[in-house]
């Protein structure tokens, strides 16, 4: 018996709807099960600045004594660049790190992150921008003393506001690369300086932030662990498109970067493109 016109059109409509659904599913990009990039904006074809410093100045004052730590520095870093900042002790590298990360206010000048001027944000907005966009590796690690190594890494994910659950496969991968698997239940006071440093690096990378600011990330490491950290940063930069700004006093470490800024007495004295950065090994 022939079907009624109404039933026929319902069948055609259902087929059409299913075809459109199927097309959409096929057209959506394949998802990587292990390496989703949570915080990374889509890489544009043209280089776009992600960090801009404009006449950046920081003068510390204690009583009547003034210490000009950063003196009128201007530069621009493009999305996806790997920058090394080198310079002697006391030249203002860490102060620059705090300024670029919005952790201290500039005495003069501006820091613009992804088009947003830190100075226009209130404290809450600045904190949110930092948590969502920037991973910090502090020179003195700044691990929370009451939490274990694992707790310190997990909390970075928890406060980042990401909806996705902690990527345990990526966590395992970071811990293996940084050789800290056997130390995850220890508190910072039970870890060596180098182990604390590597936990701090895992904490900075776990959220796959668009920007990684690392202050002397290899400062406490032996050659083997130092190479592992540099390789990790380089590969995160290449494969996840993260913008990395690494402070170091070690010219060999700086050799992995695409561009090297030299700081002296609070000023940038050279800005050089590294035409042959150290090669990168397998995938992250
Ligand atoms: N809170 C502060 N109050 C006063 N002076 C400070 C303060 N922090 C840093 N300074 C001074 O500012 C200058 C730059 O310090 P900064 O820590 O930025 O140097 P650095 O290049 O990171 O040195 P290092 O390689 O030893 O880590 C130094 O002369 C330092 O003594
Ligand atoms: Mg420093």
Q: Which two tokens stand for residue 272?
A: 């050089």
Q: Considering every ligand atom shown, identify the ligand nearest to the alpha carbon of residue 85 and give its number.
A: 1
Measured by CA distance, the residue closest to atom 12 of ligand 1 is 69
Query: Domain extents for the chain?
Result: 49-273
Superfamily of domain 49-273: P-loop containing nucleotide triphosphate hydrolases (3.40.50.300)
Can you give the pLDDT at residue 102?
A: 95
pLDDT in tens, the chain (284 residues): 444 554 555 555 445 444 443 333 333 333 333 333 434 444 556 789 999 999 999 999 989 999 999 999 999 999 999 999 999 999 999 999 999 999 999 999 999 999 999 999 999 999 999 999 999 999 999 999 999 999 999 999 999 988 899 999 999 999 999 999 999 999 999 999 999 999 999 999 999 999 999 999 999 999 988 998 999 999 899 989 999 999 998 888 999 999 999 999 999 999 999 988 876 555 45
**β-strands 49-62, 134-137 pairing:** unpaired
Can you give the pLDDT at residue 276?
A: 82
Three-state secondary structure readout of 142-199: CCCCCCCHHHHHHHHHHHCCCCCCCCHHHHHHHHHHCCCHHHCCCCHHHCCHHHHHHH
d(CA 62, CA 67): 8
d(CA 234, CA 232): 5
Measured by CA distance, the residue closest to atom 4 of ligand 1 is 60
Q: Which two tokens stand for residue 182?
A: 């056997």
Question: Residue 94: CB within 6 Å of ligand 1?
Answer: yes
Q: pTM for this one?
A: 0.84
φ and ψ at residue 52, rounded to 5 degrees? -130, 130
* 49: three-class secondary structure by DSSP: strand
Measured by CA distance, the residue closest to atom 31 of ligand 1 is 90
Question: Residue 93: CB within 6 Å of ligand 1?
Answer: yes
What single DSSP character describes residue 44? P
Question: Residue 157: CB within 6 Å of ligand 1?
Answer: no
Can you give the pLDDT at residue 275?
A: 87
Ligand 2 center–CA 77 separation, angstroms: 20
- Which ligand 1 atom lies nearest to the CA of residue 96? 18
Q: Would you say 109 and 53 are in contact if contact means Cβ atoms under 8 Å apart?
A: yes
Task: Give ∠ CA 239-245-250 in degrees, rounded to 5.
Answer: 110
């Amino acid at each position: 018996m022939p079907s009624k016109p109404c039933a026929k059109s319902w069948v055609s409509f259902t087929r059409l709807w299913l075809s459109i659904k199927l097309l959409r599913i096929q057209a959506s990009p394949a998802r990587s099960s292990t390496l989703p990039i949570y915080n990374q904006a889509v890489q544009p074809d043209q280089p776009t600045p992600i960090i801009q410093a404009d006449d950046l100045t920081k003068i510390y004052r204690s009583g009547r004594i003034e210490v000009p730590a950063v003196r009128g520095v201007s530069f621009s870093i493009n999305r996806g660049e790997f920058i090394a900042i080198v310079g002697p002790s006391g030249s203002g590298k860490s102060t620059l790190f705090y300024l670029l990360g919005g952790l201290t206010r500039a005495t003069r000048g501006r820091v613009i992150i992804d088009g947003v001027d830190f100075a226009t944000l209130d404290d809450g907005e600045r904190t949110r921008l930092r948590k969502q966009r920037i991973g910090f590796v502090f020179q003195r690690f700044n691990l929370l003393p009451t939490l274990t190594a694992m707790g310190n890494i997990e909390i970075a994910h928890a406060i980042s506001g990401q909806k996705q659950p902690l990527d345990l496969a990526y966590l395992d991968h970071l811990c293996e690369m940084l050789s800290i698997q056997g130390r995850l239940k220890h508190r910072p006071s039970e870890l060596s300086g180098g182990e604390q440093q590597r936990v701090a690096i895992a904490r900075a990378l776990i959220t796959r932030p668009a920007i990684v600011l690392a202050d002397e990330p290899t400062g406490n490491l032996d050659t083997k662990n130092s190479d592992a950290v540099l390789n990790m940063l380089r590969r995160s930069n290449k494969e996840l498109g993260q913008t990395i700004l690494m402070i170091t006093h070690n010219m060999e470490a700086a050799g992995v970067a695409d561009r090297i800024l030299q700081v002296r007495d609070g000023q940038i004295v050279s800005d050089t493109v590294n035409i042959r950065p150290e090669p990168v090994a397998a995938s992250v």
